[in-house]
Amino acid sequence: MKLLTGKNVLITGGSRGLGRELCLRFAEHGARVGFSYNRNIDAARKLEAELEAQGAAFHGYQCSVLDTDGTQKMVRDLEERHGPLDVLVNNAGISQNLPLALLEEEDFDRVMDTNVKGTYLTTRAVVRSMMRRKAGVILNMGSLAGVRMIEAPIHYCASKAAIVGLTEALAKELARHQIRVLCMAPGLLEDGVGRNLPEHRLKDYLHHCALGRVGTFREIAEACAFLVSDLNSYMTGATLVADGGV
């Protein structure tokens, strides 16, 4: 069953990890996919080859989520290519495994800027068109670290908690324009943020996880495809936690 046939989608941070899987699965569900990436050109080219092999309609952009002018230009170009955007997935994000004592001010700012300000800037660039059409879905990528008291870097936790608040406030503000805003909060996944966790922290997570394993990118991407689909038309302002039962 294709959940996103005919939908025009933009996914930030799309070249690697969960972002890459989101691009592939959304295309598999029938979406026309635009994605952004910051530095890893090789990973972006590999993704483009995979999307081309799927027969997908797609276009990639090298653009930081903190580049205001570049983001606006990307959105305009993508809408000229594919048509008005139906779905925005704010997936781009970073983290650092640093304790407070070693956390410099520039480290804190970098994580908060990318994860929170980048979400704001991209949403602002996309939402005006959605408001004019009174249609659209915005999915923000949160984290279990933003909704539970767990051992994780404080600046990452703070940024992901901010994403939950941003999601709720946006959902309330944009509801009159028939725009839904949601947040996905995954637990530990097969790669990505948790790949550099010390062994004792991974063991502790698995000990408290009802399913006894980390999640896969595909599991989260499929759940995201449903969240932004028309089948999920009565959900907004919600944060879906997918953590295997921690």
Give the separation between CA 60 and CA 104, rounded to whole angstroms.
Answer: 33
- Per DSSP bridges, beta strands 136-141 and 179-186 are parallel
Cβ neighbours of residue 159 closer than 8 Å, sequence gap 6 or more: 93, 111, 112, 115, 116, 146
Q: 171, 237 in Cβ contact below 8 A?
A: yes
Cα atoms found within 13 Å of the Cα of residue 19, Cβ hemisphere only? 28
Cα separations in angstroms, 143 against 20, 21, 150, 153, 243: 17, 17, 11, 12, 9
Select which of 37, 61, 156, 205 is catalytic: 156
Q: How far apart are CA 90 and CA 13, in angstroms?
A: 8
Say if residue 12 is exposed, middle or buried (CB neighbours under 10 Å; 0-12, 13-18, 19+). Answer: buried
Does the active-site annotation cover 37?
A: no
> Which of helix, strand or coil describes residue 83?
coil
**How many C-alpha atoms does 67 have within 13 Å on its Cβ side?**
16
Q: Which residues are known to be catalytic? A: 156
